[in-house]
């Protein structure tokens, strides 16, 4: 009697501290058998690339559901269109802040576990790359002195901070609109249930509690500059059909500039968060 062969996850590392390419076929990925192995690899590599896998929207949704609890978007949709075309995305204005290092869901009780992006329409060559930084690896590489210094520090995170990167001199009415969305105090160091630690930084962090404002900004800039150095980062040059997945609980990301009218379009799905930042 023939026995069914177990599907094995096939991958290759991209850089020593971040990234892996998953080499399995579309059929193997959609089967669902590899879900736990993919999530384990994601935690250790931060970013996974599925080169030119060419998922349809339905297949991307189905694949996402094999990995954990599927997260719908704020308006209930399953697919979020990443585009600066306001005709395609009502929140396109806020996406301009994604040109700066950030993580998603800082205001949520539990930031989303992971995001998956598939490329549908590309920007011109040399533009629109998505970059990632492994904040697990960056924390682990800090000096013991820095680890001790930041261990119990907390920073204020707010949408207003992200938008000041895009519009540094807003009107007072615009400022009040941003401010009304609120703020959240988060630790600089996230101690995960696994015991591992990662940095909680990015353009949503505006100042550090109990610090002189300029001293707090200086520390945030120093940590961001360190965490986004070449050792901890990967820049993805998109091809149509690529799917890229990243650990939102242990990685920053940003997009490099591209023409606003080029029609660049990526489709996103998400996994629900599994733990609050603590």
- Residue 1 pLDDT class (50, 70, 90 cuts): very low
Secondary structure of residue 130 in the 3-state scheme: strand
Whole-number pLDDT of residue 85: 80
CA separation, residue 118 to residues 26, 263, 269 (Å): 14, 15, 9
- Residue 2 pLDDT class (50, 70, 90 cuts): very low
Strands of 205-208's sheet in order across: 183-187, 154-158, 205-208
Digit-coded pLDDT (tens) for 157-194: 999 999 999 999 999 999 999 999 889 999 999 999 99
d(CA 94, CA 29): 33
Fold of 11-271: Double-stranded beta-helix (3.60.130)
Digit-coded pLDDT (tens) for 32-90: 999 999 999 999 999 999 999 999 999 999 999 999 999 998 888 999 999 888 788 87
Among residues 196, 207, 202, 216, which one has the least CA distance to residue 139? 196
**Alpha carbon 167 to chain centroid, angstroms:** 22
Whole-number pLDDT of residue 3: 47
* Pairing verdict, β 20-22 and 189-191: unpaired
Digit-coded pLDDT (tens) for 221-266: 999 999 999 999 999 999 999 999 999 999 999 999 999 889 999 9
Q: Is 138 a residue whose pLDDT tops 90?
A: yes
Q: Where are the domains of the chain?
A: 11-271
d(CA 14, CA 168): 36
Mean pLDDT (the chain, rounded) = 94
Sequence-separated (6 or more) residues with CB below 8 Å from residue 79:
57, 60, 61, 73, 267, 268, 269
Whole-number pLDDT of residue 4: 57
Q: Which two tokens stand for residue 105?
A: 């869901």
Contact 21, 49 (CB under 8 A): yes
d(CA 31, CA 179): 45
Q: Which two tokens stand for residue 169?
A: 């001199």
């Amino acid at each position: 009697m023939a026995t069914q062969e177990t599907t094995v996850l096939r991958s290759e590392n991209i850089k020593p501290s971040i990234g892996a390419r998953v080499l399995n076929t579309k059929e193997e990925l959609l089967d669902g058998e590899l879900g736990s192995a993919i999530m384990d690899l994601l935690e250790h590599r931060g970013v996974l690339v599925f080169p030119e896998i060419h998922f349809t929207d339905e297949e991307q949704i189905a694949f996402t559901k094999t990995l954990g609890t599927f997260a719908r978007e704020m308006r209930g949709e399953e697919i979020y269109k990443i585009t600066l075309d306001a005709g395609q995305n009502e929140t396109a204005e806020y996406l301009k802040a994604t040109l700066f290092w950030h993580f998603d869901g800082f205001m949520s009780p539990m930031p989303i576990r992971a995001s998956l992006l598939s490329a549908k329409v590309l920007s011109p060559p040399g533009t629109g790359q998505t970059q990632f930084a492994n904040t697990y690896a960056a924390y682990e590489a800090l000096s013991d002195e820095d680890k001790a210094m930041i261990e119990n520090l907390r920073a204020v995170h707010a949408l207003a901070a992200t938008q000041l990167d895009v519009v540094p001199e807003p009107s007072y009415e615009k400022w009040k609109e941003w401010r009304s969305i609120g703020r959240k105090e988060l630790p600089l160091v996230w101690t995960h249930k696994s015991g591992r630690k990662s940095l909680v930084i990015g353009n949503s962090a505006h100042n550090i509690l109990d610090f002189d404002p300029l001293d707090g900004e200086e520390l945030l800039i120093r940590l961001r500059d360190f965490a986004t150095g070449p050792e901890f980062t990967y820049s993805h040059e998109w091809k149509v059909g690529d799917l890229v997945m990243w650990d939102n609980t242990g990685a920053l990301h940003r997009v490099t500039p591209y023409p606003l009218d080029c029609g660049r379009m990526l489709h996103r799905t998400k996994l629900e968060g599994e733990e609050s930042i603590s």
